[in-house]
Amino acid sequence: MDDIQTLRRILKENHVIAMVGLSANWYRPSYFAAKYMLDHGYRVIPVNPSYKEVLGQKCYPSLKDIPEKVDIVDCFRKSEEIMPLADDAIAIGAKALWMQIGVINEAAAEKAGKAGLDVVMDRCVKIEYARLFGGLSWAGVNTGVISAKRPEAAVRR
């Protein structure tokens, strides 16, 4: 799904986002996206078994462990890891399955879509929110700060 009206509707009607794979490292794209969405009024629920808390929010090991209603399941995982997340998104009654930039799984998208979920692939929730609701500017685009690459270790002299 990539038409503007549908993306706008998903982001306007749904305010609880479970971010699967959210990292506590400030330089990771998931951290930046979560911080941005928190700063713009969304409830972000981190899902990562490696952490107890991220950005001051309690972290859960899996989607099924979340004790509250989730609107959007936002996936920061590899494409081949999406099908079980789609199954869990359906099981918890999520309204949308969102796969981040570079994440595409047609079979999971079809399954989630048939279960009634809106499905977005290969798009960033932060970028789409900024683009559709007026927050996208040159400050924060192509800054080189956000990268999927791990930072190099500091050189000791």
Q: Which domains does the chain have, with CATH numbers?
A: 4-133 (3.40.50.720)
pTM of the model: 0.85
Compute the distance between CA of residue 152 and CA of residue 105 in angstroms, rounded to an integer: 31
For the stretch 17-55, pLDDT in tens is 999 999 999 999 999 999 999 999 999 999 999 999 999
Phi first, then psi, for residue 149 (nearest 5°) are: -85, 145
Q: Note whether 45 and 16 are within 8 A (CB).
A: yes
For the stretch 53-95, pLDDT in tens is 999 999 999 999 999 999 999 999 999 999 999 999 999 999 9
Compute the distance between CA of residue 152 and CA of residue 141 in angstroms, rounded to an integer: 22
Please check the confidence at residue 149 and state whether its pLDDT lies above 60: no
For the stretch 3-22, pLDDT in tens is 889 999 999 999 999 999 99
Q: Which residue has the higher pLDDT, 4 or 1?
A: 4
